[in-house]
Structure 1
């Protein structure tokens, strides 16, 4: 059966299947598959399908949906159904939903939440959304170290519907101070009369509630966990972060970095409005205009030289363009290294010398090729030497700019991905013109 045939069968089930058949099949269907159908179908089918789904499954759909579309799913349902769906959602899912709403929609959703959920959401909204506190779920299972394995298993069976994650169980005291962690596998393979304290691993790795979400992602990547506890400065456990949250964060951060390297806001979407795209792009285009004027002013200072050796105007873009390419290569590696935490104080010097070596070697190779091209183009050895030396100097400068600019911006608390490309391009253009036209001016008598 082809994917399209499977999709049509699923659509038929969602629209015409009996309630018993639908509820049975939904146990084996991923919400993302139904979302795909909802996105493709018309409004009538969209509403019909949603109203036939159990509230627990609609909650899963909302969790899977993009932030801008979450409320579109919820508002199709009756007020009673909306309240039931909200009860099925975890605190972090509710916070994601609430964070995407306008004031009027926000009040409507908050009024339909239970008092407990409303307080949890308000607590999470108090944290910066880009920190561990902003992405954590406050629903977690805390077990006490003075209980036996049997009592703990009985407790877990009684609350199985409330468990956000069951891979690891976190041990706390009655004030929720984190004491350790136990894997579910170890729990079920230990004799019933064993105390929890005897099998607890006290060396639990936790996340500070104020840690930036990128650092949280790096921690998950480093240790390979699927769940990690979030604690405050007293080591009190406040919630958990699960790996499904981290996958979305990594995707969002990577998208943002790619956008920003291109001088585009990390929040711009391909299906966004015209106004959003203009606000995202125009400011950086204006900055680029100013830097282009700076580069043009350097060219203007050597008008006399260019007027006497017109061939210089043909070669200039090659020198600056190759410098820009070299700078972008170095910049991309360094920005990515900063984002992933691979560039640290311990290895910064080694990476600097590596990038310098890359600049020198590539500069020599490309410079020699440029020297030959200049000789062929103008028929004069001195012209070729000017082209080659200028290319060498600009390639080295570009590589160093690609290394230092993002690091300096990082120290100034400016996002390197957002601003680095503009400044690196400025360096390569300004210095490229200066090296090339400056050398040409020095050797002008030999070029005529």
Structure 2
């Protein structure tokens, strides 16, 4: 493959428009990775149709498999009817499912017209699985062999069948009822003696996922074991239904991380960088409205100490510091906790140890920041009591942020609420109320030392 940094892809692709020799066109496109080709096409919509029409059918299939969902449909819509007949049946099942989930009824019917009855039934069955489960992201093009086959027989079979299937790094061993019995690595097949039987080399303790497993849990297993693919089975009888490949799970990881980031900021996951203004306003305004009411709760605490503030105006100068430091500390704890929950690292066995760690960190950070702000405050207002009060308030607020950052996401998770969606609202309100309450409360108690 060529690199976009050492060769001008734009010139190469435009040369396709002048080329008529099909073999020459194939030679040209084989030197360009489909991802690079797609990046080029994004900037040349006017030439899109003419360029794609020049491409070999199998390369168009590669483009569709690599493209974003909306781009997959765009490519399908722009190729001729004759090309669709050759291209659509060769698109991998998991990519077809993704396309059909986003397509309107007319597009769905158009795509189904080019599939034979067997493929239609298979795709319809896949569409019944929720899109965020193992069944929703698996592909059904996978290689299986029987345990009594020899290595020579297996190699001959792979030569014949592998081009039509997903990545053949692992070959799954099944019985006559398609029950998963084991797995053999491609390396073993190539290096073992030709008359060695599959059953003598296969691994029988196969790590697989149930078809209804959430995609986040699947991602955790891929990260844990580092597999290139993983079989998806029916948990009742261990029948292999499909496989999930590493490239699919990378998309899931990106999707889940993006979703968590958006949720923590109170954004709709559908919002795009260059999207519609009204859509963005709609998705953000609801979250901002919720934040408005929680902010009013915090302000009510401040209002309770209005008399103290009116007598010691300097308190108003330092209040944002107390609230801001508590919010920042809470964000740190929440980030660790939400990631731990999402990746399956936090469990019942280690909850106490994690809580102890977060409390220790909070106390140490609180002491460091508390002493620092105390010194700065003394330098500014020349009052030791003022410095001690704000130091204690910051230490207390950072401790509250750790407690809230630990318990809030765990509690939400137990109620089947996504911790990334609601945690920040609750914890920020907690830290603001605790910080203002402690700071202004201490100032009220020790007012005679501040004036």
TM-score (norm 1): 0.96
- Please point out which of 51, 54, 71 is paired with 2:53: 51
- Please point out which of 309, 318, 322 is paired with 1:319: 322
Aligned to 2:157: 155
Tell me, which stretches of 5 or more residues in structure 2 are unaligned? none
Structure 1 position 4, deviation (Å): 7.6
Aligned to 2:200: 198
Deviates more, 1:19-28 or 1:282-291: 19-28
- Please point out which of 171, 177, 180 is paired with 1:178: 180
Give the conservation status (yes or no) of the 8 Å contact 1:35–1:65: yes
- Please point out which of 423, 437, 444 is paired with 2:447: 444
- Please point out which of 360, 364, 387 is paired with 1:384: 387
Aligned to 1:346: 349
**Within 2, Cα distance between the matches of 1:24 and 1:11?**
12
Give the conservation status (yes or no) of the 8 Å contact 2:260–2:421: yes
3-state secondary structure, aligned to 1:175:
coil
- Please point out which of 232, 236, 248 is paired with 2:239: 236
3-state secondary structure, aligned to 2:145:
strand
Deviates more, 1:11-20 or 1:169-178: 11-20
Aligned to 1:214: 216
- Alignment RMSD (CA, Å): 1.7
- Please point out which of 332, 335, 360 is paired with 1:332: 335
Deviates more, 1:341-350 or 1:1-10: 1-10
Give the conservation status (yes or no) of the 8 Å contact 1:140–1:163: yes
TM-score (norm 2): 0.95
**Within 2, Cα distance between the matches of 1:4 and 1:141?**
37
Relative to structure 1, the CA distance from residue 275 to residue 117 in structure 2 (aligned partners, 3 Å threshold; closer, same or farther) is: farther
Deviates more, 1:65-74 or 1:287-296: 65-74
Aligned to 2:405: 402
- Please point out which of 367, 371, 389 is paired with 2:370: 367
Structure 1 position 177, deviation (Å): 0.5
Task: Please give the residue correspondences for 1:239-258 in structure 2 after superposition, counting only pairs within 5 Å.
Answer: 239-258=242-261
**Deviation by residue 1:134-183 (Cα, 9 ceiling, x = unmatched):** 00001112211122323322222222332212111000001110000111
Aligned to 1:107: 109
3-state secondary structure, aligned to 2:83:
helix
**Within 2, Cα distance between the matches of 1:370 and 1:192?**
75
**Within 2, Cα distance between the matches of 1:30 and 1:163?**
20
Structure 1 position 8, deviation (Å): 2.6
**Within 2, Cα distance between the matches of 1:375 and 1:16?**
77
Give the conservation status (yes or no) of the 8 Å contact 2:12–2:28: no
Aligned to 1:36: 39
Deviates more, 1:263-272 or 1:133-142: 263-272
Structure 1 position 98, deviation (Å): 0.8
3-state secondary structure, aligned to 2:78:
coil
Aligned to 2:284: 281
**Within 1, Cα distance between the matches of 2:16 and 2:122?**
34
**Within 2, Cα distance between the matches of 1:15 and 1:9?**
10
Question: What is the count of residue pairs matched by the alignment?
Answer: 447
Structure 1 position 302, deviation (Å): 1.1
Matched, 1:428 2:431: yes
Give the conservation status (yes or no) of the 8 Å contact 1:180–1:201: yes
Give the conservation status (yes or no) of the 8 Å contact 1:256–1:267: no
**Deviation by residue 1:285-329 (Cα, 9 ceiling, x = unmatched):** 111111111111111111111111111111111111111111111
Structure 1 position 382, deviation (Å): 1.8
Structure 1 position 5, deviation (Å): 4.8
Give the conservation status (yes or no) of the 8 Å contact 2:393–2:438: yes
Aligned to 1:309: 312
**Within 2, Cα distance between the matches of 1:63 and 1:2?**
20
Aligned to 1:10: 12
